[in-house]
Amino acid sequence: MRITIEIPTKASIVNGGFEIGVANESETWRKNQLGDYADSSGVYIHHSHGKILYVGKTTEGDYGTFGERLRREFQKSSSGNSPLYKYLKSQDKPIHTYCIDLNDIDMMVDQGPMQLSAKRKALIMEQVLIGIFEPEGNKQ
């Protein structure tokens, strides 16, 4: 059994994505910061100043889109003041988020003769990226 994965390079990640603001206590975080990705699902990578901060995925449930998941990470009230929110808030440089939607992941992960759903492929991609980049935010 063999799975082949096309992994984005660190250079393509840190040179891409959307600048995302961490909402202050009295602010509402806006998902329109994500453009066309706001209502999509997949794997996302927070990075700042050449450093990979966090890798996550969003594929199902109430927080199954990038917009809804990132609201829980970038808005204090939605995050419950989580350790990840505090970590992102502590960054002194702008944070960018690089999104890979499920359609792209489906093409980037070749499962060979096995049958894997796009959600399973996203899980594989997320875990591989965490293993490669070892982001500080995923260690919390």
Share of the chain above pLDDT 90, in %: 64
Residue ranges of domains in the chain? 4-138
pLDDT digits (tens, 9 = 90+) for 83-95: 999 999 999 999 9
* pTM of the complete model beyond 0.75: yes
pLDDT digits (tens, 9 = 90+) for 46-82: 999 999 999 999 987 766 899 999 989 999 888 888 9
Q: What integer best gives the mean pLDDT of the chain? A: 91
The DSSP 8-state label assigned to residue 75 in this structure reads: B
CATH 2.40.50.140 fits 4-138, yes or no: no
**What is the H or E stretch that residue 99 is in?**
strand 95-101
Nearest CA to 108 out of 37, 36, 4, 13 is that of 4
